[in-house]
Structure 1
Amino acid sequence: MKKLKFLNLSNSKELRSLDLGLTPNLERLNLEDCKKLVALVVHGGCLKTLVYLNLSYCDSLKSLSFIEQFESLEVLDIGGLNLKEIPDYIITGHSRNTLLELNLSWNMIEEVPLSIGNLHKLVSLNLYNCSNLKSLPGSICSLQHLRTLNLSYTVTKELPEDLGQLECLEELDLTCTNVKHLPGSICILKHLNTLILWGCKYLEKLPEDVGQLESLGILDLRSCSNLREIPNSICKLEKLPEELGNLKCLQLLDVRDTGITHLPQSICSMKGLTIQRFELKDQVLDDDFFQLCFKYDSEKCRIQGFQHLRTIDLGRCVIEEVPEALGQLECLEELHLNCTNVKHLPDTICMLKHLKKLFLISCLYLEKLPDDVGQLESLEEIYLLRCYNIRDILNNICTLKHLKMLVLEGCGSIEELPEAVGQLECLEELHLSYADVKHLPGSICMLKHLKKLVLRLCVLLEKLPDDVGQLESLEVLALPRCYSIRDIPSSVCKLKKLKMLNLYHCFFLEKLPEDVGQLESLEGLYLLRCYNITEIPNSIFMLKHLKRLDLEGCRRLEKLPDELGEIENLQMLVIWNTGISHLPRSISLLNGLKIYGFTLHTNSAASLLVNH
């Protein structure tokens, strides 16, 4: 095995020792989660070319001293070994200082040795969940090539004052640490893109010059419950500093679980910014907030700032009106109004030419959409869930030429889909739930790009259109709990791309089309609790890609097709609570099949189930 370069023995539960003298030219060795591994035998002079070694969660290893022999090692993962200290030879043993990535996560170490500074080429240092680690040595600041430093879920209280010397640092993760403040030198990290301070409950303020982080793209301040200044405000965090607008590259501002209700005007120049304002609970956003976010100049008829916002999420904010000025946000791509008290959307929303996604979930008071909603020429996705008071929505929606996703659940009393639904020529997914429709319009068969048709709990639906087989792109057809469905049109067998057919709880369904075997791409057939099904068409053996056949609760079904064993990819057969008393002999051909719900009655039946 002298030519072997890659060896992966991860999750080898019974591996106890390994002699690497047989593979002297290995370059990559993965032994992750080999729980019983006690020793690696490394002969002198071998494994000179090893660059990757993963020993994570090999917590039975008695010694790691062999590591110092791997002089070319670039990536070392020794996470989850319950180490109380980092052995010197892991660092000092690399005379060439080749190590690029070092993972020490999930260990019990209390300190990082001063010698860490000798790993001059180190790019990534992961100390995640080293729950006893309280601080870092100042020598870490000499790692001039370090890009990623993960200290999350440690008990680190302070960072070295010279942290700013890590001139290549791009990501600093301090999630749920005990830091009270950040060193001022952090502000000179010109390449820092991600600063995660989520759950730093002792953090009281940010450095005064945080605005100098010119490359900062993500700033996460969630659940910093003791934060008082960012950086100039006092007493209680009520607003962000005006200087925040200097962070020209900021893409995400996440201030969930803080007391922030106002945004500085300087933020208006921040192109591409996404603001997340979740979980405001009972807090009322007053007029001042809207004057700040959507300040309207009556003479120029345009918003002062925020023109570059792409995402607005006002989910769970206690607002009753959306300002007319919203229509001036010409770059807006996503609008989230979930769980708000709005009764209607302003007509100006139809001016949002770049809006792609509209989320209206649990808007309990929403009564209608604007009449001209069809003018949203870029709209691709609409989510209308549990908007119980909304009426007359579908005719307007059907003019959206680029709509790809339409999700309607519990929206008023939808009794029928209009013929115009066939005009949604780009539609790829249609989800309709808790509706009182009795039939679908024939025009739905014109949706050539439709991939998913999900009709859940449409209890009055009696049938599908006869030409449903014209949906040439359909991959998923799901009719769960459509209790009134009695038969499936034979044209469904023309759906050459169909991968899943879900008829769960179609109580009155009596049979499947005889030619169901023509569904050449079908992978899953679900007939759970189809109580009136009495037989499975013999053509089912033609479903060469079928992986799961679920017949649970088909009480009147007494036998399976004799040629079932020819479904060569079948992996799971569920026959709980059926009338099936024996299995076809051909099933013995399926070596990997798992059968659920079959009770053995005879020795011959037992012989069929060996290895299943």
Structure 2
Amino acid sequence: MSELPSSFRSLKSLVHLDLSGCRRIDCLDEALAGLSNLQHLNLQGTCIMLLPENVTKLRYLNVSGHITMAEGTIDNLINYICSNLSNLEHLDLSRNLMGSIPESICNLRKLHTLNLANCSFLKIPSSIDTMDSLKFLDLNGCWGIIKGPQLGSSAISLPHFVVKPGDDGHSSSNLVLLQHIDPVKLNLTELENVKSVEEAQCINLMGKKKLEDLTLEWTRDAGRFVDHKILLENLVPPSTLKKLDIRGYRCVSFPAWLVLDQLPNLEHLILRDMANLEDWTTSHSSGEQHVLAQLKIHDCPMLRIKPLPAKAREWVVLNSDNVLSSWEECIGPHTNATSSFSHVTTMLSVENCNVPLHQWSLLEHFPGLAYLHIKSSVDLTGSPEVIQHLSSLKTLKLQDKYLEELPKWLNENMWQLTRLELIDCKNMASLPHWLGELTSLKELFLLNCDVLCSLPESIQQLTRLENLKIWGCPELNHLGERVCLLPSSLEHLQIWNCNGIKCLPEGMEQLTNLQTLDIYDCPDLKKWCEIEENMMKLAHITDMEIE
């Protein structure tokens, strides 16, 4: 439909009207002008710009997915709603691009349900905490809202649900409000306020078949009414779960359901801030079928996993040293780590680690490791036992401000290494001559290496090198003076924020494979490139950007 008949406004007794998806109707406000008794109005997916002044009896209004015809339309519409529709009980503003909700939202003193889901850039006023009538607030997909509002104890805010004790300090917590709610995403915080096991049982978490993303969080060092393990035993998620994030758990071991076999659809598991956790027994009875996409273990310094690591394509380990080093005692004669794990895990990221590399026995379980990122000051001294497990590496990222030189084992067994990234290596003044022997390298990134002053001549031996990025290396002053150090295989060259490089080397015209040259924030180098004679040397480059 492109319009409503003019007689439509004569429906004086109409109470319920659904125009959802009627996106082609213009001047809706004029067509609705006479509908003074409307109580339920669904305008989802329409392009209405204004609401008529006489629809003040509205109790339900849905303007989800508003089609904005002009800048500011949705903001003006919301301002009008908040200032004039004081009888509203249910307001759906989901999937809109407004930047904020006005303070006048507090004028809607009868509002019990506010849906703001998937308003990605939204900010909400702090005064929304004072809306005593508000019982249900949906903030799913509101990425701009880091922390949900502190609503009253009888209100539900999703996905951020803060568990609060009863107002009198003795009655049950507000967790019971979730009994009949089945959201896609749920973040349960301040679980220390749950008063009894029965409260956890009554919400029947396992029965919430829409639930895909769940966070369970206890406040650090807070008192508790129910033991963490007993409570977690009664918060078993449904089999539909894809992402599970557990934070602040304070017991030494997990309940039995966290063997993972009961969560066949789980893709992402995050274990965070568990200072007391010592034991996690995983099960592999389901064979090779169930493999996590990603396992993150943050701030679990005492954790030992047995008998074998959980199967995940990517591991992220932060400040959890035992996870890297405590595997000798877990491996018995009946297990074969290499055959059991095949090449499941291909990516490992480690941050804030105090264990030297030669003690990383976890690597024995990752024979197919292709990506390794080390972000911390780690003793990179290797051992033959550990280095052999790195022979499949294709990408190595080293991010360490104290690192002065590359580990020598890089030149011993890295025959498949195609990408090397050195990031924030602020004490590395030079690269070793043997770098040229890493002949499989296709990409070399040097990022924020403050004191790096030269490249070794052997870089010319990297005959497969296609991509070279040099960012934030102010002391690097040339890429070869008399002889160009850049290999002829090079296809992409980026030089950003390197004030020391004042010119490109002689022989640039011989780099016939070079397709992209990107120079940014290098004033002297930019001037050199703008000289007509030098522009001729770069004429063969098809994609060149110099700023």
- TM over 0.5: same fold? yes
Tell me which residue corresponds to 1:564. none
Tell me which residue corresponds to 2:152. 157
Cα distance, 1:72–1:172 mapped onto 2, change above 3 Å: closer
Higher helix share: 2
In structure 2, how many angstroms separate the alpha carbons of the residues matched to 1:501 and 1:45?
60
| Identity over aligned pairs, percent | 10
1:129-140 superposed matches below 5 A: 129-133=124-128, 134-135=130-131
Q: Secondary structure at the match of 1:75?
A: coil
The AA in structure 1 aligned to 2:212 is G
The alpha-carbon deviation at position 444 of structure 1 amounts to 2.8
Tell me which residue corresponds to 1:336. 317
In structure 1, how many angstroms separate the alpha carbons of the residues matched to 2:466 and 2:194?
53
Give the one of 500, 504, 507 matched to 1:512. Answer: 504
Tell me which residue corresponds to 2:75. 78
The alpha-carbon deviation at position 544 of structure 1 amounts to 8.5
Cα pair 2:190 2:219 within 8 Å, conserved: yes
Give the one of 220, 236, 242 matched to 1:245. Answer: 236
* 1:156-181 per-position Cα deviation (integer Å, ceiling 9, x unaligned): 21446xx8xxxxxxx92336797864
User: RMSD of aligned C-alpha atoms?
Assistant: 5.8
Tell me which residue corresponds to 1:174. 160
Note if 1:194 corresponds to 2:190. Answer: no
Cα distance, 1:463–1:400 mapped onto 2, change above 3 Å: same
Q: Secondary structure at the match of 1:446?
A: coil
The alpha-carbon deviation at position 73 of structure 1 amounts to 6.2
In structure 1, how many angstroms separate the alpha carbons of the residues matched to 2:368 and 2:124?
44
Tell me which residue corresponds to 1:551. none
TM-score (normalised: structure 1): 0.57
Cα pair 1:383 1:407 within 8 Å, conserved: yes
Cα distance, 1:545–1:225 mapped onto 2, change above 3 Å: farther
Higher strand share: 2
Give the one of 486, 495, 498 matched to 1:492. Answer: 486
In structure 2, how many angstroms separate the alpha carbons of the residues matched to 1:28 and 1:178?
46
Give the one of 241, 259, 265 matched to 2:256. Answer: 265
The AA in structure 2 aligned to 1:87 is N
Cα pair 2:391 2:414 within 8 Å, conserved: no
Tell me which residue corresponds to 1:521. 516
- Give the structure, 1 or 2, with the largest relative contact order (CA under 8 Å, sep 6 or more): 2
* 1:114-156 per-position Cα deviation (integer Å, ceiling 9, x unaligned): 5888x9xx89597962433345759989xxxx99697964342
1:396-407 superposed matches below 5 A: 396=387, 400-401=391-392, 403-407=394-398
The alpha-carbon deviation at position 355 of structure 1 amounts to 1.4
The alpha-carbon deviation at position 396 of structure 1 amounts to 2.1
In structure 2, how many angstroms separate the alpha carbons of the residues matched to 1:482 and 1:388?
25
In structure 2, list runs of 5 or more residues that go unmatched: 1-21, 34-42, 67-73, 167-172, 332-336
Cα pair 2:493 2:518 within 8 Å, conserved: yes
Cα pair 1:172 1:196 within 8 Å, conserved: yes
In structure 2, how many angstroms separate the alpha carbons of the residues matched to 1:89 and 1:545?
68
Tell me which residue corresponds to 1:109. 105
Tell me which residue corresponds to 1:220. 215
Matched residues, number:
465
* 1:173-211 per-position Cα deviation (integer Å, ceiling 9, x unaligned): 336797864464633344x22112447997767543332
Tell me which residue corresponds to 2:422. 431
In structure 1, how many angstroms separate the alpha carbons of the residues matched to 2:79 and 2:187?
26
Cα distance, 1:500–1:106 mapped onto 2, change above 3 Å: farther
Give the one of 351, 354, 359 matched to 1:361. Answer: 351
Cα pair 1:513 1:537 within 8 Å, conserved: no
Tell me which residue corresponds to 1:278. 272
Cα pair 2:293 2:312 within 8 Å, conserved: yes
* 1:427-456 per-position Cα deviation (integer Å, ceiling 9, x unaligned): 3443263456432432334324x2645583
In structure 2, how many angstroms separate the alpha carbons of the residues matched to 1:51 and 1:67?
20
The alpha-carbon deviation at position 541 of structure 1 amounts to 3.4
Cα distance, 1:458–1:355 mapped onto 2, change above 3 Å: farther
In structure 2, how many angstroms separate the alpha carbons of the residues matched to 1:323 and 1:207?
27
Cα pair 2:437 2:461 within 8 Å, conserved: no
1:468-479 superposed matches below 5 A: 470-471=463-464, 473-474=466-467, 476-478=469-471
Tell me which residue corresponds to 1:378. 368
TM-score (normalised: structure 2): 0.62
The alpha-carbon deviation at position 265 of structure 1 amounts to 0.8
The AA in structure 2 aligned to 1:463 is P
* 1:214-257 per-position Cα deviation (integer Å, ceiling 9, x unaligned): 3322223446579877xxxx356465432333532334333434
The alpha-carbon deviation at position 368 of structure 1 amounts to 0.6
* 1:495-554 per-position Cα deviation (integer Å, ceiling 9, x unaligned): 664251247365xx6752135476542222454899xx99668455366899xxxxxxxx
Note if 1:317 corresponds to 2:300. Answer: yes
Q: Secondary structure at the match of 2:535?
A: helix
In structure 2, how many angstroms separate the alpha carbons of the residues matched to 1:28 and 1:405?
57
Cα pair 2:393 2:414 within 8 Å, conserved: no
The AA in structure 1 aligned to 2:391 is L
